[in-house]
C-alpha cells in the first residue's frame, strides 16, 4: 500500500466535497441577487432538460435584480416557466429576450427555512466525508491484515488521515456558519 497515494486521494475527494457544498450554497438565496441563484434551473427545450446557463446569460444590474438574456427568442417562454416553477419564489417579467427578476425581500420564516436547508447541505457534506474517511481507514486496516505495513505505521497513518478530516470538517462548519449569517442578514 502506498500511503502518500491514499492521502492524496483523500485530500482530492474531500476537496471535491467542499466544492459541491460551495455550489449548493451558491444556489441558496440570500437577501441579494446572485448570478448563481439560477444555476440549478433546468429548462425543457430542444427535446431535453438543459441548464439555464446554456440558454441565456444571467447578470445582476443591482443588488435586487437579475437579468436573464435568452439567446434564442423561441426559448423565452420555457425559460420564464422554468424560473417560475423552480421553487425560488421568483416572478419573471419578460421584455423581448430579456427576463427581469426582482428579488423580493426574504421573510423571517423563509430565512429560517433557508438556514435549515443550508444546515442539511452541510450535514450531507459531512456524511460524504465520513464515508471517504471510513474507506481510507479500511484500506489502512487491510494493509495491516495483509502485513504490508506495521501496526505502528497504521496508527501513524490513521492519525495523519484523521487530521485531514478534522481540518475539512472545520471548513464545512465555517462555510455553513458564513452562509447562515448571509441568509439571516437583513
Q: What single DSSP character describes residue 104?
A: P
What CATH number matches the domain at 3-26+107-184, 3.40.1160.10, 3.40.50.300, 1.10.132.20, 1.20.120.530? 1.10.132.20
Task: Assign 28 a pLDDT band (cuts: 50, 70, 90).
Answer: confident
Q: Which residue has the higher pLDDT, 31 or 17?
A: 17
Task: Assign 173 a pLDDT band (cuts: 50, 70, 90).
Answer: very high
pLDDT digits (tens, 9 = 90+) for 66-89: 888 989 888 888 888 888 887 777
For residue 29, what pLDDT is reported? 64
Handedness of CA 147, 152, 153, 156 (dihedral sign): positive
**Minimal CA–CA distance to 67: which of 108, 37, 110?**
37
In the predicted structure, residue 167 carries a pLDDT above the cut 70:
yes
- Mean pLDDT for all residues in the chain: 86
Domain residues of the chain, as ranges?
3-26+107-184, 35-102
In the predicted structure, residue 154 carries a pLDDT above the cut 80:
yes
Q: Which CATH architecture has domain 35-102?
A: 2-Layer Sandwich (3.30)
What the block records as the C-alpha cell of 54 is 446554456
Contact 16, 45 (CB under 8 A): no
- pTM for this predicted structure: 0.69
**Minimal CA–CA distance to 172: which of 131, 119, 117, 136?**
119
For residue 31, what pLDDT is reported? 63
Residues 6+ apart with CB under 8 A from 49: 42, 43
Amino acid at each position: 500500500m502506498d500511503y502518500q497515494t491514499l492521502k492524496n486521494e483523500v485530500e482530492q475527494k474531500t476537496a471535491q466535497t467542499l466544492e459541491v457544498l460551495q455550489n449548493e450554497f451558491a444556489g441558496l438565496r440570500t437577501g441579494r441577487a446572485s448570478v448563481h441563484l439560477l444555476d440549478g434551473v433546468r429548462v425543457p427545450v430542444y427535446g431535453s432538460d438543459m441548464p439555464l446557463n446554456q440558454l441565456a446569460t444571467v447578470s445582476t444590474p443591482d443588488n435586487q435584480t437579475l437579468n436573464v438574456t435568452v439567446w434564442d427568442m423561441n426559448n423565452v417562454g420555457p425559460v420564464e416557466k422554468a424560473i417560475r416553477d423552480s421553487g425560488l419564489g421568483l416572478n419573471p417579467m419578460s421584455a423581448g429576450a430579456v427576463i427581469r427578476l426582482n428579488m423580493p425581500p426574504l421573510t423571517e420564516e423563509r430565512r429560517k427555512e433557508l438556514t435549515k436547508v443550508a444546515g442539511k447541505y452541510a450535514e450531507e457534506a459531512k456524511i460524504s466525508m465520513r464515508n471517504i474517511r471510513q474507506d481510507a481507514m479500511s484500506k489502512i486496516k487491510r494493509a495491516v491484515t495483509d502485513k504490508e505495513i506495521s501496526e505502528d505505521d497504521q496508527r501513524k497513518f490513521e492519525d495523519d488521515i484523521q487530521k485531514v478530516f478534522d481540518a475539512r470538517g472545520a471548513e464545512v462548519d465555517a462555510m455553513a456558519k458564513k452562509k447562515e449569517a448571509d441568509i439571516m442578514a437583513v
